[in-house]
Structure 1
Amino acid sequence: MRRRHGPTRTNTDGQPEREPACPCSSVFVRVSRKDSVTDKRKQPLAYALSVNYAGMVCLAVAVNLPPLLLTTLSAALGGEAGLTEEQLGRIGSAIFVGLVVGIVLTGPLADRIGAKPFAIVGSLCVGLGLAVLGFARSYAAVLGAAFVMGLGAGVLDMVLSPIVAALQPEGRTSAMNWLHSFYSIGAVATALGVSEALGRGAEWRTISLALIPLCVLVAAGFVAMRVPALVAEGHNRLPLRRLCRERYFLAALAAILLVGCTELAMAQWLPAYAERGLGYSREAGGRALMVFCVVMAAGRVAGGVVGHRVRAIPLMIGACSLAACLYIVASFAPWRPAALVACMAMGLAISCLWPSMLAVAADRFPHGGASMFALLAAFGNGGGILMPWLVGAVADGTSMAWGMATGTIPALLLIVLLAWMSRRAA
């Protein structure tokens, strides 16, 4: 048990006060029942978590809006023949190039000057990318907008996880799953809203501009928020150079790269694959992505509830096995409804991979700070650079089915790597 310092607090009857039952009680000061300080301390925690969850929704808009518009952009900007699969794949890759650039440029600075300025700038940068997309008149402008949105999303991705880990240090696996469940919730809301708007005849430029106020509100929320130190008081941040000499950390970097590949091959291509590969309508493709995000959100909420009772790595191995099977069904099932169901069920299979991998690294290296999360996020989003382009390139050379089937490869490699990490952690 940790040693308590200072005098023991007592209640009005002179009896020692009991420890609060709330699992998050470590972030609050224990006070008497008549003391109002507890309420004042609880409110900032609830507010801080709410703002971070809203930031994750803003990130989800940046990442998930372009995939919903791929076929629309192809028709609008590609002439009679439309854009090729490889050109469409570049749009998704541009988002993740921006993500990685944002993470790499700002990650180390957050440990020195704090996370708050970056959270504000990241939110506004997503809004700027939406504005560029709303006024885009060429394919090059769309690529630029995707990059700017990705840049803002990368800055947010870099700061949100370490902030929440600092707010809830005693339950990181659960905290990460709760935080990242709001990415899925944001993706669901984006897919539902955009699909409905497109179905009613709304223009894609109008949709992009209508989402800008969300980013402004998130930035305002961070302005009013008190952001905690990303490394606990009394501890020095573990230098990144020392982290990179740890074999386990290098394995974690490789693992989250494969996680990104496994997740984003499907997440970025599902609407276009449903339409071009399986022959469904554009609205059906958007709704399929929405269901994908719904089951992903459900999986992450479940992970948040049971995360403190289930070991992360065995759970991830099972999830990767399921993902590999679903990729095969999605690509080669002779009955197209079965293939579409497999695509949507992939959201559940991959739901725990990203937040659990972050939690595994944070538990193993608790003083890594924002630099550690930044490097992990950079490698994870590197999968988003590689896989959307690779799926499109393979599809151009063979078929959409074989392009989608490439997602099986990182899932199988991840099983092997996680088995090694499990032995090292034992």
Structure 2
Amino acid sequence: MHFGRFDYAAFLTFFAYAAGSVIVPVSLVELAHELGFSLEDGGMTAGGALQIGRTVPMVLAMLLVGFIAGRWGNRSTLGSSVLLMSAGIALCSIAPTYGILFCALVLAGFGEGVIEGLATPFVKDLHPREPGRYINLTHSFWSVGVLATVLLSGGLLSLGVSWRILTAVIALIACTAAALILIPAKDGAHAVIHQPLSPKTIWVQALQILKFPHFWRYYAAMFLAGGGEFCLTFWSASHIRLNFEASAWAGGVGVACFALAMVIGRMASGYFIPQNGLRKLIFIAAILGTLVCVLLPLSPNIWVFDALLFLAGLATAPFWPSIQSYAAHNTPNLDSTMLLILLSCAGVPGCGVFTYLMGALGNQSGSLTHAFYLVPAAYLLIALLIGFERSKD
């Protein structure tokens, strides 16, 4: 495997994107107390709604990103979106009220939507041979960002460091990633040359994909994969702190177990699994994930819960990048960039919808425990959708 400057820029982009996404859930208890929607007093729905505020603009951005990138190119569009995400995260760090925080997340969401839509095809275009390996490896830096953020922020929050300072640091990291992408490359550098496309051409490409019947199978699988993954990422720390009466550090360690397993799973998938092994990988991971996640609500203590989170992370790791790469491999006559963008338009709403549902169910029952059953249900459906798909090997 060979890497260039834009590969490293993509790694840092996923790191910053992940850090900005998880700093809110990891510090949700402190943030909720400071901004006036205590989770213990029925504020779980408000907490889950923050992800909806991020998800809606992400989806809107992804619906438009194909046209924007067709005009300005993947690199310029991606770099500008990372800069926009940085601005939204920076605004979060100074938000005085819940409403301002919500609006800041909306702004960050527009940038994240473009990142979600373009980062994967950006990497795929850098490596047209065996793209699945590079995509899995690049996506592992999402998990690296989650791991580093939850461990550091959990420890620092326990020491009394403000969540605002941590958020500002993440905004600075995102700004650095934007600079790496936007600085022009030298002639012959490891980068993709942009060929402008007309809006009509892009629209025709999208319609071809939407008319392809199997696309909707992949779309549903991505929706479920995003929902299951982000439920575990968003709510695990709060569940540990509320259900086991643990510290912010303990909540961070729990999410770190999940994130570490995601790093291992994605790096291993990228290194060891060839393109024609993706369907089997997704199916096996979905079955194992279902079996493990069914046990999460039954955990008698924090140690068992953390161990199950680790196993759940190993199972969850391949879903997002592998489903996208598998779909592109199985539809060679469709435009891969538009296909990956449209599939991201499924995964991101899955994140928001499932996160909100878990919060709403937690409010109704007074605990997040039974809401965790949403995750194995999603994984079982992924196994059914992909396991019986005919792969183009």
**2:282 counterpart of 1:316:** yes
Paired with 1:164 and 1:309, the residues of 2 have a C-alpha distance of 15
Paired with 1:146 and 1:62, the residues of 2 have a C-alpha distance of 10
How many residues are paired up? Answer: 381
Is residue 329–residue 392 contact of structure 2 (8 Å, CA) maintained in 1?
A: no
**2:356 counterpart of 1:393:** no
Match 1:378 to one of 339, 345, 360: 345
- Which residue in 1 is equivalent to 2:99? 140
- Which residue in 1 is equivalent to 2:8? 50
**2:36 counterpart of 1:69:** no
Paired with 1:82 and 1:275, the residues of 2 have a C-alpha distance of 15
Identity of aligned residues (%): 22
Paired with 1:277 and 1:263, the residues of 2 have a C-alpha distance of 20
Q: Deviations over 1:198-234 (max 9, x none)?
A: 1221111122122222122111111224441478x9x
* CA-CA distance at 1:157 after TM superposition: 1.6
Structure 1: runs of 5 or more not aligned: 1-22, 25-44
Q: Deviations over 1:343-399 (max 9, x none)?
A: 232111100011101111221234514322211111111111111100011111123
RMSD: 2.3
* CA-CA distance at 1:183 after TM superposition: 0.9
Letter in 1 for 2:262: M
Paired with 2:392 and 2:242, the residues of 1 have a C-alpha distance of 44
**2:273 counterpart of 1:307:** yes
Letter in 1 for 2:164: R
Map 1:166-181; keep pairs closer than 5 Å: 166-181=125-140
Is residue 157–residue 248 contact of structure 2 (8 Å, CA) maintained in 1?
A: no
Q: Deviations over 1:140-169 (max 9, x none)?
A: 112122222222222112111111101111
* CA-CA distance at 1:60 after TM superposition: 1.0
Q: 1:79 to 1:102 in 2, by over 3 A?
A: closer
Is residue 258–residue 309 contact of structure 2 (8 Å, CA) maintained in 1?
A: yes
Is residue 222–residue 346 contact of structure 2 (8 Å, CA) maintained in 1?
A: yes
- Which residue in 2 is equivalent to 1:403? 371
Q: Deviations over 1:311-368 (max 9, x none)?
A: 1111111111121122221112334432232123211110001110111122123451
**2:17 counterpart of 1:59:** yes
Paired with 2:41 and 2:164, the residues of 1 have a C-alpha distance of 18
Is residue 16–residue 170 contact of structure 2 (8 Å, CA) maintained in 1?
A: no
* CA-CA distance at 1:405 after TM superposition: 1.5
Letter in 1 for 2:384: V
Is residue 75–residue 82 contact of structure 1 (8 Å, CA) maintained in 2?
A: no
Deviates more, 1:317-326 or 1:142-151: 142-151
Letter in 1 for 2:11: Y
* CA-CA distance at 1:310 after TM superposition: 6.1
Q: Deviations over 1:266-316 (max 9, x none)?
A: 111110111112332221001111221111011100011112176111111
Letter in 2 for 1:414: I
Paired with 2:299 and 2:194, the residues of 1 have a C-alpha distance of 47
**2:172 counterpart of 1:213:** yes
- Which residue in 1 is equivalent to 2:235? 269
Is residue 322–residue 349 contact of structure 1 (8 Å, CA) maintained in 2?
A: yes
Q: 1:209 to 1:169 in 2, by over 3 A?
A: same
Q: 1:138 to 1:297 in 2, by over 3 A?
A: same
Paired with 1:293 and 1:365, the residues of 2 have a C-alpha distance of 31
Map 1:167-246; keep pairs closer than 5 Å: 167-226=126-185, 227-229=191-193, 239-246=205-212
Letter in 2 for 1:389: Y
- Which residue in 1 is equivalent to 2:335? 368
Paired with 1:158 and 1:343, the residues of 2 have a C-alpha distance of 28
Match 2:81 to one of 93, 114, 122: 122
Map 1:246-265; keep pairs closer than 5 Å: 246-265=212-231
SS at match of 2:129: coil
- Which residue in 1 is equivalent to 2:251? 285
Paired with 1:225 and 1:169, the residues of 2 have a C-alpha distance of 22
Paired with 1:364 and 1:92, the residues of 2 have a C-alpha distance of 32
Is residue 77–residue 83 contact of structure 1 (8 Å, CA) maintained in 2?
A: no
Highest Rg: 1 or 2?
1
Give me the TM-score of the superposition, normalised by structure 1.
Answer: 0.84
SS at match of 2:95: coil
Deviates more, 1:188-197 or 1:266-275: 188-197
Is residue 61–residue 110 contact of structure 2 (8 Å, CA) maintained in 1?
A: yes
Q: Deviations over 1:216-274 (max 9, x none)?
A: 2111111224441478x9xx977111111111212111111111112111111110111
Structure 2: runs of 5 or more not aligned: 186-190
Q: 1:169 to 1:79 in 2, by over 3 A?
A: closer
Give me the TM-score of the superposition, normalised by structure 2.
Answer: 0.90
